[in-house]
Amino acid sequence: MDLDYWMHPEKFSEFINLLPLYQNIPEQINQKNSNYTHRDEWYEIIKKQYAKISISDPIHHQINRFKNNNCFAITCAHQPCMLGGPLYWWIKIAQTIKISRELNKLYPQFHFVPVYFSGNEDHDLDEINHFWLFNNKIIWPTNQKGPVGKMNLVGLKEMFDDVMSYFTNNEDAKNLIGEIQQFLNVSESYGDFMMHFVHYLFGSYGLVYFNPDQIESKKILLPVLAKEFADRISVHYTADKIMRLESLGYPIQAKPREINIFYISDQYRGRIVFEGEKFATHDQVFSWTNSELLSELNTYPERFSPNVLLRPVYQESLIPNLMFIGGGAEIAYWLQLKDLFNHCNVTFPILKRRASVMMCSSSLQKRIANLGLELNDFLNPTSIVEEKLLHLKSDFPHEIEQIRIDLLSGFEDLIKLSNTNFKSGNTSLIAEIKKIEHSIEKLFHRLFKEEKLKFETDVTKVTKIKEVLFPDNLLQERRESGIQYFIQNGRSFIDDLIENIPGEGDNFVLLLEN
């Protein structure tokens, strides 16, 4: 599904609104304006969140643009990963900024603001509490529960001390780490720290950070939450699209539950279920009658959190957004939601599959060139790269291939001769030849392995290069952390990402160090 949508989004026309093309932005604006009614609330919410940032900071000018009816958002969303987490977090945000810039040039009568929706209500600590630094896993030592954005900062100083130990002889790196660490002193929670961290990285590029765990913004979602409790709208209005996706052979990314809402507080996040005549959290810690639940919902909306299927409706109800930038898993569950959006009278955004970036250092490029290979070769399986290497280093593959061709030609001649001279026995001859061919293939494979041992040093180099580009056999962006590149290169790392990442163009980028 991911590759199909990435390469041919037109195949999904029944699941989306408009194709991810810049030419569709004016029509998306018209549709958004037809039912978007929360601009004033959105502006006040963002302005309040950024009260922690100096009023002289240019980000306030960016926020003030939201007061105007010609200002719209380009949005991405992700969990608040520790120090940004994997590279794709950085890539996703960089592309959101890049698209906003390009749209501002293309449509100067409007203004487009990049927005990062931070999933602070997520409770999966194991997914956000670590990152990789020089192949070492750095972990935030905490066992707190509940929404990660509400967690306190205990243990983060020790984590920063751990990071600092890798750069004892690099003053520039230590200064950058120290600048980030000082945000612990002005933050009350992990969500606060993330806001300062994201603003430190991307505020100068105009990115607006949004924490959805706010009473003011939850009030806007109240009608949707009430419908979910009363009518199970997530189940009813995703059923058809789920069935259609399954009929096309695609897996379902996020299957709706009967109720798709969590109850949250400090150190607690519990899924709400309906049992008998009562609502309760799945662990029975809290329970309500129907009237009690509606009373608490209206009195304390901040205690209710939409899950992955209702969060997009929350996002698009509140933010004057036109385009959502997401990874393959995100796009997959958004494709289930068009009917739910229509039911809630919320405009479905343009879905843009984020780009992927693979980075290759100058030293790695030299190692590849010294082998006589090209970077693109390493996009193939390791066995294919090794085979090309042997063709470059040895005459054996060419010679054995010629022998193979000659043998197959001889077998074909033998079968032709059999067809001409004998009326029976041809079937058994073909079967015998197939057995011989199988034996020969096994022999050739063994000879090939023995020849490879002669060039073991170069073959090992191929394996090591492959591991750098695809660590743990994953895309580099899923394993390596962006903070490592930022600490080593400073702000030029972000500048290079934004400059070279595509807006509307190519999907996969090889970013080469000069």
| Phi, psi for 307 (deg, rounded to 5) | -85, -165
What is the rounded CA–CA span in Å between residue 75 and residue 100?
9
Encoding tokens for residue 462? 């191929």
As given in the structure block, the two tokens for residue 487 are 């600490």
The parts of the chain modelled with pLDDT lower than 70 are 394-404, 406, 411, 413, 415, 417-429, 444-445, 447-452
Question: Which among 117, 46, 115 has a CA at the least distance from the CA of 77?
Answer: 117
Strands (E), 128-190: 130-133, 136-139
Other beta carbons less than 10 A from residue 169's beta carbon? 6
Q: Are the beta carbons of 297 and 265 closer than 8 angstroms?
A: no
Which amino acid, one-letter code, is at 223?
A: P
pLDDT the model gives residue 452: 66
Supply the DSSP symbol for 255. P
CA atoms within 13 A of residue 427's CA, in its CB half-sphere? 1
d(C-alpha 295, C-alpha 117), whole Å: 28
- Our CA dihedral for 432, 437, 443, 449, rounded to 10 degrees, sits at -150
Which tokens is 391 given? 């063709």
Q: Residue 360: CB partners within 8 Å, gap ≥ 6?
A: 375, 469, 510, 511, 512, 513
Residue 75 tokens read as 């949005």
User: Whose structure tokens read 């990402």?
Assistant: 497
**Closest C-alpha among 351, 268, 295, 293 to residue 2:** 351
Identify which of 306, 329, 254 has the alpha carbon closest to the alpha carbon of residue 120.
306
Q: Taking each helix axis from N to C terminus, what angle separates 426-454 and 396-421, rounded to the nearest 10 degrees?
A: 170
Quickly count: other Cβ atoms within 10 Å of residue 451's Cβ: 16
405-442: burial string, b at 16+ Cβ within 10 Å, e else: eeeeeebeeeeeebeeeeeeeeeebeeebeeeeeeeee
pLDDT at 5: 95
Euclidean distance between CA atoms 150 and 297, whole angstroms = 20
Query: Looking at the DSSP assignment, which residues form a beta bridge with residue 508?
Result: 356
Per-residue pLDDT tens for 352-387? 999 999 999 999 999 999 999 999 999 999 989 988
CA 156 from chain centre, in angstroms, equals 25
- pLDDT the model gives residue 425: 54
* Per-residue pLDDT tens over the stretch 209-262: 999 999 999 999 999 999 999 999 999 999 999 999 999 999 999 999 999 999
Whether residue 498 contacts residue 97, with contact meaning beta carbons closer than 8 Å, is answered with yes
Q: What is the pLDDT of residue 27?
A: 98
DSSP symbol at 304? E
CA distances from 46 to 42, 69, 74, 300, 466 (A): 6, 16, 15, 20, 44
State the alpha helices, DSSP H only, in 232-269.
233-236, 239-247
Residues 151 and 144: beta-carbon distance below 8 Å: yes
Give the CB-side neighbour count of residue 282, counting CA atoms within 13 A.
12
**Residue 278, strand partner residues:** 275
Six-digit token pair at 482?
A: 């962006």
Helix (H) and strand (E) counts for the chain? 24, 14
- Residue 72 one-letter amino acid: F
CB 252 within 8 A of CB 336: yes
Q: What residues contact 486, with CB distance under 8 A and at least 6 apart?
A: 84, 90, 176, 201, 493, 494
CA distance linking residue 212 with residue 11, whole number of Å: 33
Residue 162: both structure tokens together: 């751990």
Can you give the pLDDT at residue 438? 73
User: What is the rounded CA–CA span in Å between residue 319 and residue 212?
Assistant: 11
Domain positions in the chain? 2-217+307-360+492-512, 361-394+458-480, 395-454
User: If we measure between CA atoms, which residue out of 264, 250, 242 comes closest to residue 1?
Assistant: 250
Contact of 344 with 313, CB cutoff 8 Å = yes
Pairwise CA distance, residues 417 & 433, whole Å: 14
Q: In this structure, what is the dihedral angle of CA atoms 480, 6, 242, 222, given to the nearest 10 degrees?
A: 70
